[in-house]
Structure 1
Amino acid sequence: MVAPRIGYLLPTRERVMEGQHETGPLLALAERAEALGYDSIWVGDSLLARPRHDPMTLLAAVAARTRRVEMGTAVLLPALRNPVLLAHQWATLDRLAEGRMILGVGIASNVQNIRDEFEAAGVPWDKRLGRMLEGLRLCRALWTGEPVEWDGRWRVKAGTLGPTPHRPGGPPIWVAGNAEPTIERVGRHFDGWFPNGPTPAQYAETWRAMQAAAQAAGRPPGAITGAAYLTLAVDENAARAHERMDRFLAQYYGQRPDVMRKRQACFAGPLAAAREWLAAYAEAGVTHFALRFAGEHERQLELLARLRDDLRLPAPRHAG
């Protein structure tokens, strides 16, 4: 029997929205999550569209304050960054964390404030997917520690990166998104799938196809991790939980909560029902959860801390 790994998303965006820019309380939450047995700590990414702490800087502090938990981005936007700098930063982070880093990445939602963010950073919005994919290939090449020659969007002439990451080849890269090309892309080239929108049934269907793509590419069973980014408001009073979720989504995204609930996997209700909801995702193939809480972080951290053992499942059977 296997138990899914349970991670916790630090409320960097929420704290900045509340005018609380201090990092001490965030680091204390990370330490508390580790003490409660959580397996991973996550942070989001945005420059101006959804103001929050810089993820790599904050994760360096989390790495120094923790010993066991994995850490990652949910998710980073690599297209906003020069990949040579990104490779250097992540290699150093992976050394600080002694191999506990996971690089979660995405291409960014097509909404106006994120398009404006790209413009402010001097990065063209068009072809951002190509920028992300080439940039990650360049990161992986630099993480080998061997001299790199590169002639594409970026030019590298016999460039050698040091330090190399703690793990040979660099940290695992998990890719967000639900679009059809993501199935083949993750199955063939990346280390994990990290969506935030599918239902359990949709997740199971896509996960089967992704495993088949990995097998067709000659990758070994278990080469990719099935992860999920899920948002919860747990309260024995279901009406109060739904009210808190709607308020959270409206404030966080500046859009109607009913619209956001259709785009993102959200749960509001009692703990027993939350257990069933998460169990359905575990049955669908999720082996690593990143949980985002709609408020009341300390209380919800305690409530969800023991769910991993309740979600034990038979060892997964790989495609084929």
Structure 2
Amino acid sequence: MAIRIGYLVPTRESVMEGRHEAAPLLALAERAEVLGYDSVWVGDSLLARPRHEPLTLLAAAAARTRRVALGTAVLLPALRNPVVLAHQVATLDRIAEGRLILGVGIGSDVPNIRAEFAAAGVPFEKRAARMLEGLRLCRALWRGEPVDWEGRWTVREAVLGPTPHRPGGPPIWLAGAVPATIGRVGRHFDGWFPNGPSPADYAATWAQMQAVAREAGRAPEALTGAAYLTLAVDRDAARAEARLDAFLARYYGQRSDAMRKKQACYAGPPAGARDWLQGFVAAGASHLVLRFAGEQERQMELLAGIGAALGR
């Protein structure tokens, strides 16, 4: 099984540090491609965790790269009108010439994200249903045929142009690990993109998703198992641990030990990182997206080419 390795561009970290320029972020995307990474990813937030708007930044990255896939990690579709979103995504996929992947989620139930939804005029409690219907509408519009829709949005004989580069639109991977995610991925999505399970939990959940897909008449092997993983890689293990703890505490405003229980994290030397990542590959993940805690280029270089050592 070919293992793909992605790199998360630190848009949030840059804004937190008062560096709002886009050029350094685009340079990191280009550097990831040069180093052999398979994909480049950008996160999403309006106000809860301020950062660059992901679809806009990915359009610029698409124009400056040629090989890497480009993805959202993860987009919150419920915050957006799906007709506008369908148009934006179709145009971005044309710029990227079919390299786009949409990682999507509903957002965590924490005060600042609730406030973000309120600021956007979107009912927080309805976010899952809104996301699911909105994405169905996007997919209908991406076919390039007349669409009539009666639901949260009303569409009459609408035809979207341009259509995405890939017929039917880019693949959509769903984040999350709540029980409802199992059925949603198995029946409706193209992949699973969590950030929290241990390899053992990942393997169990992934097997359930594949079983649901099989029961729904879908080919389980057509689904992509992905994972969003946070790393502090350093040959000095103690320094790596300290950097990861500082990163998590600042990024989330919570104790680092609490965040380590919620998210899949590693701190230590490159050899240990390889073994840790191998655990997710053994659990069924084939696309690993790496978020580095600081020292972006140095850590990118330390793990460059690691995909070739995984999955054997």
TM class, shorter-chain normalised? over 0.9
Aligned: 1:21 with 2:20: yes
Determine the structure 1 residue equivalent to 2:224.
225
SS of 1:222 mapped into structure 2:
helix
Aligned: 1:193 with 2:192: yes
- Check conservation: 2:282, 2:311, Cα contact below 8 A: no
SS of 1:277 mapped into structure 2:
helix
Determine the structure 2 residue equivalent to 1:60.
59
Determine the structure 2 residue equivalent to 1:290.
289
CA deviation digits over 1:72-119, x for unaligned, max 9? 100000000000000000000000000000000000000000101111
SS of 1:74 mapped into structure 2:
strand
Between the aligned partners of 1:171 and 1:157, the Cα distance in structure 2 is 24
CA deviation digits over 1:270-307, x for unaligned, max 9? 11111100001000001001100000001000011121
Quote the sequence identity (%).
73
Between the aligned partners of 1:119 and 1:207, the Cα distance in structure 2 is 33
Letter in 2 for 1:96: I
- Give unmatched runs, 5+ long, in structure 2: none
Listed as ranges, the matches of 1:137-156 within 5 Å are 137-156=136-155
Letter in 1 for 2:85: L
Listed as ranges, the matches of 1:222-261 within 5 Å are 222-261=221-260
Determine the structure 1 residue equivalent to 2:175.
176
Q: CA deviation at 1:123?
A: 1.1
Determine the structure 2 residue equivalent to 1:77.
76
Determine the structure 2 residue equivalent to 1:216.
215
Q: What's the TM-score once normalised by structure 2's chain length?
A: 0.99
- Check conservation: 2:211, 2:220, Cα contact below 8 A: no
SS of 2:166 mapped into structure 1:
coil
Between the aligned partners of 2:109 and 2:132, the Cα distance in structure 1 is 18
Between the aligned partners of 1:33 and 1:129, the Cα distance in structure 2 is 33
Q: CA deviation at 1:222?
A: 1.7
Q: CA deviation at 1:223?
A: 1.6
Determine the structure 1 residue equivalent to 2:93.
94
Between the aligned partners of 2:53 and 2:70, the Cα distance in structure 1 is 14
Between the aligned partners of 1:124 and 1:212, the Cα distance in structure 2 is 33
Letter in 1 for 2:119: A
Q: CA deviation at 1:312?
A: 2.9
Determine the structure 2 residue equivalent to 1:318.
none
Determine the structure 1 residue equivalent to 2:3.
4
Q: CA deviation at 1:3?
A: 2.9
CA deviation digits over 1:130-186, x for unaligned, max 9? 000000000000000011100100000111100000000000000000011111110
Between the aligned partners of 1:241 and 1:103, the Cα distance in structure 2 is 31
Q: CA deviation at 1:124?
A: 1.2
SS of 2:20 mapped into structure 1:
coil
Q: CA deviation at 1:220?
A: 1.9
Between the aligned partners of 1:119 and 1:183, the Cα distance in structure 2 is 28
Determine the structure 2 residue equivalent to 1:125.
124
Letter in 1 for 2:93: D
Between the aligned partners of 2:220 and 2:213, the Cα distance in structure 1 is 8
Letter in 2 for 1:3: A
Between the aligned partners of 2:311 and 2:286, the Cα distance in structure 1 is 10
Between the aligned partners of 2:264 and 2:219, the Cα distance in structure 1 is 30
Q: CA deviation at 1:239?
A: 1.3
SS of 2:177 mapped into structure 1:
coil
- Check conservation: 2:234, 2:240, Cα contact below 8 A: yes
CA deviation digits over 1:40-88, x for unaligned, max 9? 0000000011000000000000000000000010000000000000000
CA RMSD in angstroms, aligned pairs only: 0.7
Letter in 1 for 2:284: G
Letter in 1 for 2:192: W
SS of 1:178 mapped into structure 2:
coil
Which segments of structure 1 move beyond 4 Å, counting only runs of 4 or more?
none
- Check conservation: 2:98, 2:165, Cα contact below 8 A: yes
Between the aligned partners of 2:297 and 2:67, the Cα distance in structure 1 is 20
SS of 2:74 mapped into structure 1:
coil
